[in-house]
């Protein structure tokens, strides 16, 4: 049976160089990076070099990078601390954010009576920036904007520069979950004045369980985890040196190969779209994922012309054929709620059909695309 992995937006395979680097560190660097002896200092130097690598990639200061267990922790650190330490009373976000943001905001609204405003979503699944400005104009308290750069389900891109300019105009703070963009795009945070971002290594062929937060200098964000004074007091706990080294290597390789791999992945995406349109009449694409200028090159969210009685079996049948992908609607999840992202903007007739997110990496091939398209054709028969 063929094995096709088209779920790279969920997680990516480790690059061989990342595995080698992690094994090297685990074997040769046993020290605690907080220890002052030579073995500890060696571990500490690995962490600080990784911090410099990430900072250089983002064009920021190393002191502005804080290592976390991943994107979820980074989002939680930023949003919670903004309310607790920065006197934020109003959070503007959107209904299509990752649950790491939405559930955190819900908690703060319930526990601390923070005002929460949801910016409108357009028919294409994009954030309505005119409505965002209206919300900022009417805000009478310290405000945090929390909007993701790339939507993890439909791939829509946020105009970071425009949002950051609005934030500056109305004296608001701007946090962006960049879990889907770090390692896949050139990001210059010296030009884009976002205050905080979150990232996760396993989205760019690094290890799971490690990520980072970018905290703009003098932001006064404080730790949510107490213990030792690690990460300049912003995140207590002994650092996972091997994971941090693996993340650094993954980011280095992503940058080295960015142009070539992007070209390859774009070819896979557009070939897949072309073959779906050619072989499956009635296929549709959710959000802006069909438009290369308005979405990431790494995914397609596909609405398939499958009758309701067959929808629940679609992902199961693809799994039996060795195809890994992600559900995107109630038809596949068996849940009345389905995807909160799709529910936010799709009309009911499209919600009644199954939607699947296919997401790609440099390891995918056109032969795999052909196999998936044929499998879908067989299912529809």
**How many other CB atoms sit within 10 Å of the CB of residue 349?**
8
Distance CA 338, CA 213 (A): 30
Question: How large a percentage of the chain has pLDDT more than 90?
Answer: 90
- Beta-bridge mates of residue 7: 359
Q: What is the mean pLDDT of the chain?
A: 95
Kind of pairing between the strands at 355-359 and 326-327: antiparallel
- In degrees and rounded to multiples of 5, residue 276 shows phi and psi of -65, -45
Structural domains present in the chain: 16-256 (3.40.640.10), 258-380 (3.90.1150.10)
Distance CA 355, CA 332 (A): 8
Which residues are part of the catalytic machinery? 331
Taking a C-beta distance cutoff of 8 angstroms, is the pair 146, 101 a contact?
Answer: yes
Rounded to the nearest 10°, the torsion over CA 164, 168, 171, 174 is 20
**Residues 6 or more apart whose Cβ sits within 8 Å of residue 185:** none
Distance CA 368, CA 370 (A): 5
Distance CA 150, CA 156 (A): 6
Q: Does the pLDDT at position 23 exceed 60?
A: yes
Query: Which pLDDT score, from 0 to 100, does residue 312 have?
Result: 83
Q: How confident is the model at residue 337 (pLDDT cuts 50, 70, 90)?
A: low
Radius of gyration of the chain (CA): 21
3-class SS letters over the chain: CCCEECECCCCCCCCHHHHHHHHHHHHHCCCCCCCCCHHHHHHHHHHHHHHHHHHHHHCCCHHHEEEECCHHHHHHHHHHHHHHHCCCCEEEECCCCCHHHHHHHHHHHHHHCCEEEECCECCCCCECHHHHHHHHHHCCCCEEEECCCECCCCCEECCHHHHHHHHHHCCCEEEEECCCCECCECCCCCCCCCCEEEEEHHHHCCCCCCEEEEECCCCCCCCCCCCCCCHHHCCCCCCCHHHHHHHHHHHHHHHHCHHHHHHHHHHHHHHHHHHHHHHCCCCEECCCCCCCCCECCCEEEEECCCCHHHHCCHHHHHHHCCEECEECCHHHHCCCCCCHHHHCCCCHHHHCCCEEEEECCCCCCHHHHHHHHHHHHHHHC
Distance CA 130, CA 112 (A): 28
| 331-355: average pLDDT | 80
Query: Which pLDDT score, from 0 to 100, does residue 333 have?
Result: 46
Task: Dump pLDDT digits (tens) for 61-118.
Answer: 999 999 999 999 999 999 999 999 999 999 999 999 999 999 999 999 999 999 999 9
Q: How confident is the model at residue 311 (pLDDT cuts 50, 70, 90)?
A: confident
Task: Dump pLDDT digits (tens) for 133-177.
Answer: 999 999 999 999 999 999 999 999 999 999 999 999 999 999 999
- In degrees and rounded to multiples of 5, residue 79 shows phi and psi of -70, -45
Query: Which pLDDT score, from 0 to 100, does residue 327 have?
Result: 82
Taking a C-beta distance cutoff of 8 angstroms, is the pair 245, 25 a contact?
Answer: yes
Closest by CA position to 148, among listed 117, 182, 111: 182
Query: Which pLDDT score, from 0 to 100, does residue 1 have?
Result: 65
pTM for the model: 0.95
Taking a C-beta distance cutoff of 8 angstroms, is the pair 89, 115 a contact?
Answer: yes
């Amino acid at each position: 049976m063929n094995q096709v992995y088209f779920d790279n937006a969920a997680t990516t395979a480790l690059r061989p160089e990342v595995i080698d680097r992690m094994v090297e560190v685990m074997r040769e660097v046993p020290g605690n990076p907080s220890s002052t002896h030579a073995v500890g200092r060696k571990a500490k130097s690995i962490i600080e070099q990784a911090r410099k690598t990430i900072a250089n990639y983002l064009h920021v200061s190393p002191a502005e990078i804080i290592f976390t267990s991943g994107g979820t922790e980074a989002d939680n650190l930023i949003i919670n601390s903004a309310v607790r330490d920065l006197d934020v009373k109003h959070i503007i976000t959107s209904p299509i954010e990752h649950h790491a943001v939405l559930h955190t905001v819900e908690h703060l609204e319930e526990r601390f009576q923070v005002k929460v405003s949801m910016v409108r979503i357009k028919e294409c699944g994009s954030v309505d920036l005119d409505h965002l400005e209206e919300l900022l104009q009417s805000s009478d308290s310290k405000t945090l904007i929390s909007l993701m750069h790339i939507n993890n389900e439909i791939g829509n891109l946020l105009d970071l520069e425009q949002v950051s300019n609005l934030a500056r105009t109305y004296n608001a703070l701007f946090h962006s979950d960049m879990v889907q963009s770090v390692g896949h795009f050139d990001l210059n945070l010296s030009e884009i004045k976002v205050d905080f971002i979150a990232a996760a290594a396993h989205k760019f062929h690094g290890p799971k369980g490690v990520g980072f937060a970018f905290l703009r200098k003098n932001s006064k964000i404080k730790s949510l985890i107490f213990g030792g004074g690690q990460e300049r007091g912003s995140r207590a706990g002994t650092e996972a040196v091997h994971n941090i080294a693996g993340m650094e290597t993954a980011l280095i390789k992503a940058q080295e190969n960015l142009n070539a791999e992007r070209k390859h992945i774009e070819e896979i995406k557009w070939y897949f779209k072309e073959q779906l349109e050619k072989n499956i009449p009635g296929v549709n694409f959710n959000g802006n994922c069909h438009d290369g200028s308005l979405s990431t090159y790494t995914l397609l969210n596909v609405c398939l012309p499958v009758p309701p009685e067959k929808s629940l079996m679609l992902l199961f049948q693809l799994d039996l054929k060795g195809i890994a992908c992600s559900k995107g609607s109630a038809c596949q999840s068996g849940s009345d709620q389905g995807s909160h992202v799709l529910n936010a903007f799709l009309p009911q007739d499209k919600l009644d059909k199954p939607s699947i997110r296919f997401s790609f990496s440099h390891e995918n091939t056109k032969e795999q695309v052909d196999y998936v398209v044929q499998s879908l054709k067989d299912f529809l028969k």
